[in-house]
């Protein structure tokens, strides 16, 4: 019997949406993004995080000014109860996804932990 890995991936995605981590993440994201100021700050935080990750992946040194801006926005968002709770929930959901990547990486012989070490 042949296994369709795409069907399995869709099943996994469906099951992820039923986890406590996802439902809490989604619920808190909706609340945090209701406020336009929060939305703008969260979007800027995500943009800066992506930019920093892209730099790191290409071996570039982080830009000090952007790093300071990222830290300021992050600190400001942590002070907001809705945003702080959302960011914690997002981290928990990302941890779940990272654990799944690690399992998949083992099949391919890829040491995910080694890839994340600086």
Please report the domains of the chain, with CATH numbers, ordered by start residue.
20-116 (1.20.1500)
Confidence at residue 9, expressed as pLDDT on a 0 to 100 scale: 93
Contacts of 95 (CB under 8 A, 6+ apart): 21
* Cα→Cα distances 15→2, 5, 9, 12, Å: 22, 15, 10, 5
Of the candidate ranges 26-30, 68-72, 98-102, 106-110, the one whose mean pLDDT is the lowest = 106-110
Name residue, tokens 């300071």.
68
Nearest to 76 by CA among 116, 105, 44, 98: 44
pTM > 0.95: yes or no: no
State the average pLDDT over residues 97-117.
80
Asked whether 24 and 91 are in contact (CB, 8 A), the reply is no
3-state secondary structure of 92: helix
């Amino acid at each position: 019997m042949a296994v369709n890995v795409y069907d399995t991936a869709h099943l996994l995605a469906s099951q992820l949406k039923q986890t406590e981590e996802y439902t809490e993440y989604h619920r808190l994201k909706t609340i945090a993004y209701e406020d336009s100021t929060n939305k703008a700050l969260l979007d800027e935080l995500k943009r800066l995080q992506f930019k920093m990750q892209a730099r790191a992946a290409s071996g570039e040194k982080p830009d000090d000014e952007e790093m300071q801006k990222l830290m300021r926005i992050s600190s400001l968002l942590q002070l907001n109860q809705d945003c702080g709770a959302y960011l914690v929930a997002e981290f928990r959901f990302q941890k779940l996804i990272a654990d799944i990547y690690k399992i998949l990486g083992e099949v391919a012989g890829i040491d995910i932990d080694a890839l994340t070490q600086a």
